[in-house]
Chain A
Amino acid sequence: MTEPFEMVVGLEVHAQLGTETKLFCSCANDGFGAVPNSRVCPVCTGQPGALPVLNKKAVELATQAALALNGKLAHKSIFARKNYFYPDLPKAYQISQYDEPLCLGGEVPLRLKDGKTKTVPLARIHMEEDAGKLLHAVGSQTLNHSLVDFNRGGVPLIEIVSNPEIFSSDEAYAYLTSLKEILQYARVSSCDMEKGEMRCDANISLRPKGQAKFGTRAEIKNLNSFKNVKEALEYEFLRQSDILSSGGRIVQETRLWNGKETVSMRSKEEAHDYRYFPDPDLLPIELSPEWIEKLKSEIPELPQARRERFVSAYHLSPYEAEVLVADQAVSDYFIEVLKLPEAKNSAEILAKLIMNIPDFSPIPAEQMAALTHLCLQKTITLNQAKELYPEIRESKKDPKALVEEKGLAQVLDEKILRDWVQKALAANPKAVLDVRGGKKEAAGALMGAVMKLSKGKANPALVNKLISEGIDKA
């Protein structure tokens, strides 16, 4: 039996800032999928004599990330050179931040599967430039040499370093989910992992449950999805606990996740000495309190606040708020529609519509408002609205016109409804008896019969009422 170990995890997340241009030159920051080396200049390819000039927008976004994560911004921070040789690093140093980062501290709120919450404190947030990318094959053809694509070189990143206060793979997953959500909502990064806009390294060590002292850690690199992080941590937990249980010792090293297992990349002894020192080509970043205030006021509503508002102001259930807010575009759309006068008092209807339409993709807000209005007025049922939705999206027709054209409007006239109900009661005596005998669900058959007679247009609430009355009377 293995000892009851607990994993202690710290995560380092790199997020690409959503700027127009790179961190130190005016090359476009849109190189993903572009022709290799089509987004390059003397600065980002490290030509002799070229000098970096800091992109102000990148500092703004990084500052907003720090604010969104409740970090403590440094009034003065500096760029440092991290020196090492690699062909994807054209200057042979990466411009990063070292002992005076942009932000110290901060926190990421976690919502766990069991409904519990927790806050993971951050160690720091700093800015740095990305490296280029090595290509070892072109298409399916492996090369006997490597090629370098510098499109990504010099792209602005922030590195968010957590404290080692994540204690399970589920917590790690929740951490990344929450962090991504916050960065997206703050419009700092689109965090598209497939495009490499968010990348993660994990430090993991084990210790017997209840022990305060940390064990020896391994750093796992190459984690390019949340699932990878979770799986790699679970794998590494087993690997380390096997070693510890059999009396072995963990070696401090860097390991690589290959999709199935972690493999050793380099030991502590082989670790680089990066010889950090302040970059003499760049001035310190100095943030004035006024500027910070201004940036703070420009941060859009963050997910936690939005969830709370959806519950308090729109009377959604916490679950509905959770689902809608999970996708920023969707929750923005939700708010946009509700701003229209026609959608007044339709928040709950709108939420249900959005959540129930399969593969929801938005139609113009005005049309959506009209559709919710039709539901609110009980002209059509939610179900009908849902069925109508794809057609509205395709045909771009006005929902009201479409409802009329299709003759879908609900029948609310009690005289007509009563007539249908009576016919249904007469045709289903057994159901009537069952309901009288206390079998309430038998009323479903009666409702079905009315709907059939009305071709689905009878208002269900009214029909329900009339069925009860009819049974009581008969």
Chain B
Amino acid sequence: MKNLTSFSASQIAQEVSSGNIKAEEVALAHLERIKAEDPKVKAFITVLEESALISAREVDLKRSQGKKLGKLAGVPIAVKDNILVEGVETTCASKILKGFKAPYDATIVEKLKKEDAVIIGKTNLDEFAMGSSNENSAFFKTKNPWNLDAVPGGSSGGSAAAVAAKMAPLSLGSDTGGSIRQPASFCGLVGLKPTYGLVSRYGLIAFASSLDQIGPMSRNVEDAALLLSSIAGHDLRDSTSSPEAQTHFSGTPLEKLRGLRIGMPREYFAEGLDAEVQKSVWNAVNCLKTMGAEVKEVSLPHTSYAVATYYIIAPSEAASNLARFDGVRYGYRAQDVKNLSELYEKSRGEGFGPEVKRRIMLGTYALSSGYYDAYYNRAQKARTLISRDFENVFKEVDFLATPTAPSAAFKFGEKSADPVAMYLSDIFTIPSNLAGNASLSIPCGLNKDHLPIGLQLIAPAFEDEKLLALAATIEKAVNFPQLN
């Protein structure tokens, strides 16, 4: 029997389109895999068994009627549970949204449906995408399929684990400070944070609006390009989506690397970086060098301000974005309240988890009268300097190569008691969100514990296609193993 869960998304789309396999078979195979694996991995908050089979059969019907199928014909896709799928519960892994049924489709979900994708389930995350380990989910912790004692990373940990454990060939994550790339790195996947403005945010429950970006997670670069081609493009419903957004990405490896300049920012290879990670990243970069690329050390001098800057801007926006969860119109509402302020206090107090509350408080403080200039305003200035660092460095080089995270996947509980240690696990991914450029993680090796290590590649804004091409080149050279 064909091992459908090992197929790539591109293969599935091709085979379904040509009629060699049925979308229903593909859906059934993945649903079975979920039944077998998910009790251990716990990637899904909701498995859409029924609706996945219905949409798979619709795809098959469409084909039997001789209609042309979309780019993602019959491809099962797992969607992070902060993205709205009409009629489906969307929780953000928070008690406050438990039972909330999405009243509309996110733009990208509309697009997936148009391309004949099969949405197979909604995946777990750190509550409201705030976290780096999935330990902040209000419901349960997703495990790393490579080692069930290790975290899958976060916040898109469920999306990463689902694809790594072959419960879906593709998933969607969202990345505010590394939430796609860091779990991709921990789970041995390709994870792309597209350029800010390339993919519509309409229907993504906002964490930090100026940083959030939806992106693909996959087991190979070609699949990431395929999914990006389906979701990218200007959206009139999102004012921050770019009118120049490209819609076609191929992820074809580069033929030659001669003349290509790759920068290694010295600030990313400093103290605190795991030695095995460093070695693995160096090896990958050396591969590129062997193939003819020019590799040089560069500097992004304001890197050390990135985490602090991020932890002012992101919570400020989050405090405002999450204010709508007030128990009035939807979501959790506290019972037995005496008045309006008690309704707010209890609903929010009981509905939000500790990390979300911490960030709401941070953001509220940073924006409050008398502190705005010292925090929010200064953070904006620092953000400008960090963006300028990238602008300057991209005059010297075409891409940057860095580790995605300072270490491979850590163990549950290892950092959860120390928020700052947890925040620092995003130290290399945060700057790209602040600058809005394109950034991707690709597996480049395994450590001695057999855990994946991620290489981060960063390209200037709207160079996503070139970024995918470079990643594909590395993919070919590195030949990273898949889990069985």
Interface residues of A (CB under 8 A from B): 42, 45-54, 81, 83, 85, 87, 90-93, 148, 273, 275-277, 280-283
Contacts and interface: CB of A to CB of B under 8 A. Distances in A.
Given A49-B205, A53-B236, 6 more contacts: A48-B92, A49-B84, A50-B202, A81-B320, A280-B209, A281-B240
A281 B202 CA distance: 10
Given A85-B344, A90-B329, A53 B320 contact: no
Q: Which of B202, B238, B344 has the most CB of A within 10 A?
A: B202
Contacts of A53: 236-239
B103 A42 contact: yes
B202 A280 contact: no
Interface in B319-335: 319-320, 323-326, 328-330
A367 B310 CA distance: 72
19 contacts: A42-B104, A46-B329, A48-B90, A48-B102, A49-B204, A51-B202, A51-B237, A54-B239, A83-B323, A83-B367, A85-B323, A87-B326, A91-B323, A92-B320, A92-B323, A273-B368, A275-B372, A277-B372, A280-B317
B39 to A, nearest CB: 29
Contacts of B239: 51-54, 281-283
Contacts of B92: 48
Contacts of A283: 239-240
A93 B317 CA distance: 12
A143 to B, nearest CB: 14
Contacts of A49: 83-84, 102, 106, 201-206
A76 to B, nearest CB: 15
Contact of B323 (A52, A93, A280, A281): A93
Contacts of B372: 275, 277
B390 interface: no
A277 B316 contact: yes
Given A51-B238, A53-B239, A280 B210 contact: yes
Given A93-B323, A281-B209, A282-B239, A148 B328 contact: yes
Contact of A48 (B205, B316, B364): B205
Nearest to A279: B209
Interface in B91-124: 92, 97, 100, 102-104, 106
Interface in B32-67: none
Nearest to B206: A49
B369 interface: yes
Contact of B103 (A47, A81, A85, A276): A47
B399 interface: no
> Among the interface residues A48, A277, A281, A282, which one has the most CB atoms of the partner chain B within 10 A?
A48
A83 B329 CA distance: 18
Nearest to B380: A278
Contacts of A54: 239
B376 interface: yes
Given A42-B103, A275-B369, A281-B239, A51 B201 contact: yes
A277 B103 CA distance: 29
B210 A87 contact: no
A90 B324 contact: yes
Contacts of B326: 85, 87, 92
B60 to A, nearest CB: 31
A90 B317 CA distance: 16
Nearest to B364: A275
Interface of B: 83-84, 90, 92, 97, 100, 102-104, 106, 201-206, 208-210, 236-240, 316-317, 319-320, 323-326, 328-330, 340, 344, 364, 367-369, 372, 376
Contacts of A81: 320
Closest 6 CB pairs of A and B: A92-B323, A280-B210, A275-B367, A280-B209, A49-B203, A48-B205
A93 B320 contact: yes
A120 B131 CA distance: 54
B104 A47 contact: yes
A277 B205 contact: no
Central interface residue in A46, A280, A281, by most chain B CB within 10 Å? A280
Contacts of B97: 48
B132 to A, nearest CB: 22
A151 B17 CA distance: 46
A280 B320 CA distance: 11
Contacts of B369: 273, 275
B367 A277 contact: yes
A275 to B, nearest CB: 4
Nearest to A93: B320
Contacts of B206: 48-49, 281
A81 B363 CA distance: 14
A55 to B, nearest CB: 11
A42 B104 CA distance: 8
A54 B239 CA distance: 8
Contacts of B316: 277
A128 to B, nearest CB: 16
Nearest to B367: A275
Contacts of B368: 273, 275
A441 B201 CA distance: 85
B388 to A, nearest CB: 19
B237 A92 contact: no
Contacts of A45: 329
Contacts of B317: 280
A413 B17 CA distance: 98
A87 B328 contact: yes
Nearest to B104: A42
B240 A280 contact: yes
A85 B325 CA distance: 10
B104 A87 contact: no
B320 A275 contact: yes
A93 B367 CA distance: 13
Contacts of A280: 208-210, 240, 317
Contacts of A91: 323-324
B403 to A, nearest CB: 29
A148 B103 CA distance: 19
Nearest to A54: B239
Contacts of A273: 368-369
Contacts of A87: 326, 328, 340
Nearest to A25: B237
Nearest to A43: B237
Contacts of A51: 201-202, 237-239
Nearest to B343: A87
A48 B237 contact: no
A81 B236 CA distance: 21
B80 to A, nearest CB: 12
B322 to A, nearest CB: 9
A190 B170 CA distance: 54
Nearest to B316: A277
B340 to A, nearest CB: 7
A275 B238 CA distance: 24
A231 B484 CA distance: 81
Q: Which of B205, B329, B340 has its CB near the most chain A CB atoms (within 10 A)? A: B329
Contacts of B340: 87
B114 to A, nearest CB: 19
Nearest to A146: B340
Nearest to A45: B329
A53 B243 CA distance: 14
A87 B344 CA distance: 10
Contacts of A277: 316, 320, 367, 372, 376
A38 to B, nearest CB: 16
A226 B130 CA distance: 51
Contacts of B237: 51, 53
Nearest to A48: B205
A83 B368 CA distance: 10
Nearest to B331: A48
Contacts of B203: 49-50
A101 B102 CA distance: 35
B104 A83 contact: no
Contacts of A282: 239
B334 to A, nearest CB: 14
A42 B238 CA distance: 13
